[in-house]
Structure 1
Amino acid sequence: MDADLIALLPPARERRLARGEALFRAGDPALGLVVVRSGALELVRTSREGRRSVLHRAAPGDTFAEASLFEPRHHCDAVAAAPSVVAVHPAAELRRAASTDPALAWRVAAHLAARLVAERARAERLALPHAADRLLDALHALPAEEGGARRLGGTWKALASELGLTHEATYRALARLERAGLLRREGRGVVHLGVRARA
């Protein structure tokens, strides 16, 4: 979320979380719009069989729990993947502010639309049948730094979970992509991508 929009939002309540600490659990009353200030949070859903799925990993500057602006309760868990600080903009206060300021309402709507586009792209990525294709697509989606490097912002294991892969499958895919000359790893969580024709 851009700083200009954050400045227009009602005051936030700051929460500090230790690694592994939950901000909320499925079924808890909805908090509102959450902005990650530092660290990382994972939105997690656990199936009846105990399978844990990472629905979204939020890094600094990201928002999550947007649906809680309109829902009474959360539908998944939000757990800190690292020591984190988040800002919680209470749903009722944000709805009240948006109802009196149409410009704010439109800015929030535009942000939610952008998040929807990002989630659609993620769904398309998860539909790719091969681990290497999912991984390469996710890496291409990362912003390129000066010199072309792309930085994960987390661990390979966390990315694997977000892609619906085991970390073993992810490391095998990385090795295949390196052998094919499509990427080069540099340091921890930094890659340079080769040229590939994109559809």
Structure 2
Amino acid sequence: MGESIYAWTKTPQEHQTFLDRYAKPDALRITHLNHALKFKRNSRYVRNIERAVLSASTPANDRKLAFWSSVTYHNLVLDPLKSLDHRPSHAQFRAGWKEVLEFAEPLAVKQILVYGVSSADALKEVAAQRQLPCKIAKVPQKINNCIPRAGTLTTAAGDINLLFVLHPSRPFSWRKWSALIQERLSLDGSSWV
């Protein structure tokens, strides 16, 4: 699960074009397809997560395609942020987790890999409001000056394994994060070629 979209606009006209684009229901899907499935594009967050999940410095394109075709990608923060300096608010994280819980059951989500660790408390609050058992704790292993979180959320459809990692657009040691991801998530690498 990604964190957010930033408005990278310079002029009022570019900003309006951005707002019009993200008002469409398929805007995030198009953005993610442009970043994840255009393999020559240097999108640091996409390429770093691929390396970490696939445990390879340069995964083959067929493995990347198989990986991205096997997951549901969603941004937690539903509102575009104004700049890279703008951080999501606690209320934005809560609103995002409410939305995630709406689609988690119908999609039978079994695990969520979260880019960033800042939204864990918001999830615990939303889960408590819905009377869903949710346990999230710090992992006793600091990576890239970040303390990951891991836990479980129980829904009517079953348990969802949670792992919160450093946002992969930051300085991100994919090898170190890969070890944690491999340890904490059920990754069927054979399905990714």
Q: TM-score, normalised by structure 1?
A: 0.29
- When Rg is computed on C-alpha atoms for both structures, the one with the higher figure is 1
Point out which structure has higher relative CO (alpha carbons under 8 A, 6+ apart).
2
Give the strand-richer structure, 1 or 2. 1
